[in-house]
Amino acid sequence: MRLEGWHLIIIIVLVLVLFAAPRLPGMARSLGQSMRIFKSEVREMKKDDPPVKGPVAADAVEGEAVNRPKSTGAGSSAVGGTETPPPTSV
């Protein structure tokens, strides 16, 4: 007999009910309180930060894009310790 996913779920639920029954109400209360705090924090963040209008934010940093030099040879490492994939031929 093979144990499938739903068998394991039933076993875990039974173990929780048998051994953790006295703690379940406290854990549920704690989870509910955590969810309320999370929701209120998200609401506060949305209320405090007005949406940015326009293409550039006020605290954006201007700069220029830097292109990495192309690697020489197939399969060689790029500058900076990162690897680049070998060129693909079509």
Are the C-beta atoms of 72 and 84 separated by less than 8 Å? no
71, with CB counted inside 10 A (0-12, 13-18, 19+), is middle
Q: What is the pLDDT of residues 5-27, one digit of tens each?
A: 889 999 999 998 898 888 888 98
pLDDT bin (cut points 50, 70, 90) of residue 78 is very low
Q: What is the pLDDT of residues 23-50, one digit of tens each?
A: 888 989 999 999 999 999 999 998 887 6
Model pTM? Answer: 0.40
- Give the per-residue pLDDT at 47: 87
Residue 60 has pLDDT above 80, yes or no: no
Are the C-beta atoms of 86 and 75 separated by less than 8 Å? yes
